[in-house]
Chain A
Amino acid sequence: GDSVTQMEGPVTLSEEAFLTINCTYTATGYPSLFWYVQYPGEGLQLLLKATKADDKGSNKGFEATYRKETTSFHLEKGSVQVSDSAVYFCALSDILTGGGNKLTFGTGTQLKVEL
């Protein structure tokens, strides 16, 4: 079945540091890939997505490139802020044989940014 593996946290960085959160996946089909962010006490918000190989998703300074050859979708940001502190989830979406589309999530990576 489909699965997503992402680096364990927590990741603690100083403000303005460079961020990378690794994500790799296995899928039986050709999935779309997503990064979601969860701030404390809130639901998940879509951060960015990519639907085919070599696509780059970007939003709010975050970027991730769909690498089919390495089955990866690593999240990067050049300069993090305290307000970026949250849990980040990598996810894939694939069509099911019987219809429907489900998100398969990684375990989440908690990011803490300190002044």
Chain B
Amino acid sequence: DTAVSQTPKYLVTQMGNDKSIKCEQNLGHDTMYWYKQDSKKFLKIMFSYNNKELIINETVPNRFSPKSPDKAHLNLHINSLELGDSAVYFCASSQGYGRGQPQHFGDGTRLSIL
């Protein structure tokens, strides 16, 4: 059973398009995250939701909009895609947001902008 699942695994699209990435976790966690991993493997947090409430919103362009319909899902919608958006996007979840809580990651969505 996949704990944190993301779809699609690969996403190839043209510049200027709008796309969404979906994330679901079946761990019963109440906090979910989106991270971006660039071509040099550097990981940076983008957003975090706790019980459907936004609690972390890093400096991310307004073209990126997370949506959490319930605490098991956190989707990422991206408008007007740009070349610089090419990256691997990881969803993660944790039980609460205490500093010792480990985060569980999905396998990533590789976004390529043509």
Bound Cα distance from A94 to B44, whole angstroms: 14
Whether A108 and B104, one on each chain, are in contact in the complex, defined by CB atoms closer than 8 angstroms, is no
Q: Which residues of A lie under 8 Å from residue B31 when comparing CB positions?
A: 101
Whether B45 and A44, one on each chain, are in contact in the complex, defined by CB atoms closer than 8 angstroms, is no
A-B contact count (CB 8 A): 76
Bound Cα distance from A79 to B44, whole angstroms: 31
The answer to whether B94 has its CB under 8 Å from any CB of chain A is yes
| Residues from 27 to 66 in B contacting A, C-beta threshold 8 Å | 31, 33, 35, 40-45, 48, 50, 55-56, 58
Bound Cα distance from A103 to B93, whole angstroms: 12
The answer to whether B100 has its CB under 8 Å from any CB of chain A is yes
Interface 9-residue window, one of B13-21, B70-78, B79-87, B105-113: B105-113
Interface 9-residue window, one of A18-26, A45-53, A70-78: A45-53
Whether A101 and B98, one on each chain, are in contact in the complex, defined by CB atoms closer than 8 angstroms, is yes
**Chain B interface residue bracket vs A:** 20 to 34
Q: Which residues of B lie under 8 Å from residue A45 when comparing CB positions?
A: 105
Whether A51 and B100, one on each chain, are in contact in the complex, defined by CB atoms closer than 8 angstroms, is yes
The answer to whether A115 has its CB under 8 Å from any CB of chain B is no
**A43-B4, A43-B90 given as contacts; is B102 within 8 A of A108 (CB)?**
no
The smallest C-beta distance from B60 to any residue of chain A, in angstroms, reads 13
**A96-B56, A107-B40 given as contacts; is B102 within 8 A of A102 (CB)?**
no
Whether A32 and B55, one on each chain, are in contact in the complex, defined by CB atoms closer than 8 angstroms, is no
Whether A100 and B107, one on each chain, are in contact in the complex, defined by CB atoms closer than 8 angstroms, is no
Residue of B nearest to A34 (CB): B102
Contact partner of A41 among B4, B48, B94, B107, CB < 8 A? B107
Question: Which B residues contact A (CB, under 8 angstroms)?
Answer: 4, 31, 33, 35, 40-45, 48, 50, 55-56, 58, 90, 92, 94, 97-108
Question: Which A residues contact B (CB, under 8 angstroms)?
Answer: 29-32, 34, 36, 38, 41-46, 49, 51, 87, 89, 93-96, 98-105, 107-108, 110
Other 4 A-B pairs with CB < 8 A, given A49-B100, A98-B55: A43-B4, A49-B102, A99-B55, A101-B94
